[in-house]
Structures are given as structure tokens and as C-alpha cells.
């Protein structure tokens, strides 16, 4: 895999000493360049950047497997966007879905057996489950066409997701079997992109309740929502680090951005990618256990 230095992607900052302790954590992200998009990985301090896909196609939404040894993503390399899985070093790419519809992955189950994804294959955009062998397709949406962005809780017992069922996007939680539905946000803003903390106690999400999209954190019951970012930039699509200390997110404008990280207690955000390259974070590589 060739290094992104060939694309002149330089780094603006080296993180604080506490962030440097996380240098062995890896972030998968999308970098758009030369009219196409590839999947890259880098250390959480912005170093050691590698292009994993390096193709003429467009690849988006990288999601690490729970074991950290594989990455699921979407690609239009075969004509339309389908879900693929590759090893974490970019090798052994295999196609998981095969449908003329648009398929977009959202998460990988904690037990490593399932992927959640959104597709317009049945006339309306709905959410589905499929196993890692590309079989056993299941409809996941309680209300087809209304529910999307399903993300498992760390213990696999619940989903958080976004729904338009009450006229605007809000964050919900339900048990993995579809029961015990609870609405977590309730305002006129657009609340999207939920992601669980590693301990399952909090949910990060994007909201434009203060004008422009910012990153928020709330408790799993919806209480105590608080903003982590609050500038004139568009900040959205946060991904929680496996140690629970950091959030990686996209920061920039509506049409372009870069990967940034911020501590869960707020403070200064750190930019990891060059503003000349349009970049979006995907997910963090899980911490492996001996």
C-alpha cells in the first residue's frame, strides 16, 4: 500500500501528551483526491497514513470489525455501491452484497457475525441486517423508510438509531429484538449520527440545534445533552475511540472537511488531515487484547 505522502497529505498538529498515549490506536477514514475516494488508516496522532484501497473507484464508510482484523466498506468498483470486506491491511477484498440498489453500511455487530446497513432495494430506504457471509438478509427497520443509522450497543443488546417518524430526525434506542423503543432526543433540530461510548453509558451524536451541526454527548437515557464542539464550522459524524477518551469527527463546511479529534471532556480540537484533501472519519480500530 502506498503512503498518502504521494498525495501530499501532511499533518498540521501533533497532539498533546495525553493524545500521544493513544498513538497506537488506528483510525480508518475516507480521503477524496484525484476525483475519487479511497479508504486510509492512520495513527490517532495523524501519523503513519496508508492508502488501503488505492483504486480508481470510490470507497466510503470504513467500519472495523470487533476484532480489528477486517474493515467493511462500500465501493462502486462494480458499477453501484455495494458492501465489501477486506483485511485491515487492505488485502483479500470480498464483495458482500449484490443488488442494483444503493447499500450503505452502518455498523458491525459486537459478536462479529452481522452487519447493519441501509438500502433502497425495496422502493423506500430501509435498514437491514446481513451476516458476514453475505447471507440471511433481514429487515431491521421497525418502520421502513423512516429508520436508519442502526448502531449496536457494546454488549449487543440494544440499537441506537435515527428516525423521522415524528417529522424530523431524532435519536432513538430499542432492544436488539425490536422491543422497548425509547426516544432520546425531542426538539425541532436534526439529531443524527449516533455512536455508543465503549462503556455503553453515553451516546455521541450530531445536532444542528444551535444553528450549524455540532458534536454532542448525552447519557443513554437521553439526559444531560452537552455540546463538545461549537464553532461556525460544520462538525458531524463522530466516532468514539475504543478507550472512551476521544471522538474523531468530520469538521469543515457542508461540502468539504477534514478529520479532527476532541477529548470527551471538550477542550481544543486537533486537526489530523490536510485541508487540501477532503476527508471523513470512519471508525477506530478496536484495542486488541493479548
Under 8 Å CB-to-CB from 22, ≥6 apart: which residues?
15, 44, 45, 241, 243, 245, 246
Taking the C-alpha atoms of residue 138 and residue 109, their distance in angstroms, rounded to an integer, is 14
Domain membership flag for residue 228: yes
56-105 tens-digit pLDDT: 999 999 999 999 999 999 999 999 999 999 999 999 999 999 999 999 99
Higher pLDDT, 255 or 37: 37
Q: Which single residue is written with the C-alpha cell 423506500?
A: 124
**Interior CA angle at 256 toward 255 and 262, to 5°?**
125
Higher pLDDT, 1 or 34: 34
Residue 159 has pLDDT above 80, yes or no: yes
What pLDDT score does 20 carry?
41
Taking the C-alpha atoms of residue 112 and residue 212, their distance in angstroms, rounded to an integer, is 35
pLDDT above 90 covers a percentage of the chain that reads 72
Domain membership flag for residue 114: yes
**Domains: count for the chain:** 1
178-199 tens-digit pLDDT: 899 999 999 999 999 999 999 9
What average pLDDT does this structure show over 140-166? 90
Residue 120 has pLDDT above 60, yes or no: yes
Domain membership flag for residue 243: yes
Residue 22 has pLDDT above 90, yes or no: no
Under 8 Å CB-to-CB from 283, ≥6 apart: which residues?
27, 28, 62, 63, 64, 239
Q: What is the pTM of this model?
A: 0.89
Domain membership flag for residue 290: no
Taking the C-alpha atoms of residue 106 and residue 127, their distance in angstroms, rounded to an integer, is 9
Domain membership flag for residue 289: no
SS3 at position 58: coil
What pLDDT score does 275 carry?
58
254-290 tens-digit pLDDT: 888 899 999 999 889 999 987 557 888 889 999 764 4
- CATH number of residue 265's parent domain: 2.120.10.30
Which residue range is the domain that position 28 belongs to?
4-284
Taking the C-alpha atoms of residue 14 and residue 27, their distance in angstroms, rounded to an integer, is 15
Amino acid at each position: 500500500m502506498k503512503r498518502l505522502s504521494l498525495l501530499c497529505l501532511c499533518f498540521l498538529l501533533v497532539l498533546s501528551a495525553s493524545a500521544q498515549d493513544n498513538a497506537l490506536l488506528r483510525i480508518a477514514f475516507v480521503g477524496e483526491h484525484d476525483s475519487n475516494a479511497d479508504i486510509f488508516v492512520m495513527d490517532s496522532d495523524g501519523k503513519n497514513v496508508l492508502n488501503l484501497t488505492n483504486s480508481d473507484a470510490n470507497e466510503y464508510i470504513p467500519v472495523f470489525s470487533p476484532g480489528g482484523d477486517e474493515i467493511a466498506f462500500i465501493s462502486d468498483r462494480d458499477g453501484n455501491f455495494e458492501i465489501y470486506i477486506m483485511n485491515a491491511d487492505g488485502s483479500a477484498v470480498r464483495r458482500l452484497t449484490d443488488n442494483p440498489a444503493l447499500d450503505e453500511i452502518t455498523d458491525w455487530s459486537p459478536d462479529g457475525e452481522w452487519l447493519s446497513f441501509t438500502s433502497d432495494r425495496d422502493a423506500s430506504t430501509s435498514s437491514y441486517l446481513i451476516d458476514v457471509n453475505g447471507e440471511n438478509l433481514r429487515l431491521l427497520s421497525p418502520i421502513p423508510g423512516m429508520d436508519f443509522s442502526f448502531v449496536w450497543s457494546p454488549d449487543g443488546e440494544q440499537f441506537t438509531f435515527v428516525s423521522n417518524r415524528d417529522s424530523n430526525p431524532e435519536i432513538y434506542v430499542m432492544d436488539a429484538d425490536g422491543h422497548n423503543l425509547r426516544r432520546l432526543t425531542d426538539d425541532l433540530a436534526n439529531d443524527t449520527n449516533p455512536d455508543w461510548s465503549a462503556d455503553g453509558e453515553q451516546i455521541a451524536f450530531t445536532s444542528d440545534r444551535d444553528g450549524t451541526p455540532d458534536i454532542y454527548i448525552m447519557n443513554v437515557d437521553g439526559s444531560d445533552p452537552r455540546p463538545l464542539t461549537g464553532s461556525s464550522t460544520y462538525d458531524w459524524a463522530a466516532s468514539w475511540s475504543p478507550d472512551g477518551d476521544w471522538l474523531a469527527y468530520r469538521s469543515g463546511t457542508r461540502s468539504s472537511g477534514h478529520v479532527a479529534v476532541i477529548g470527551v471532556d471538550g477542550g481544543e480540537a486537533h486537526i489530523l488531515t490536510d485541508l487540501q484533501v477532503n476527508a471523513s472519519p470512519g471508525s477506530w480500530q478496536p484495542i486488541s487484547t493479548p
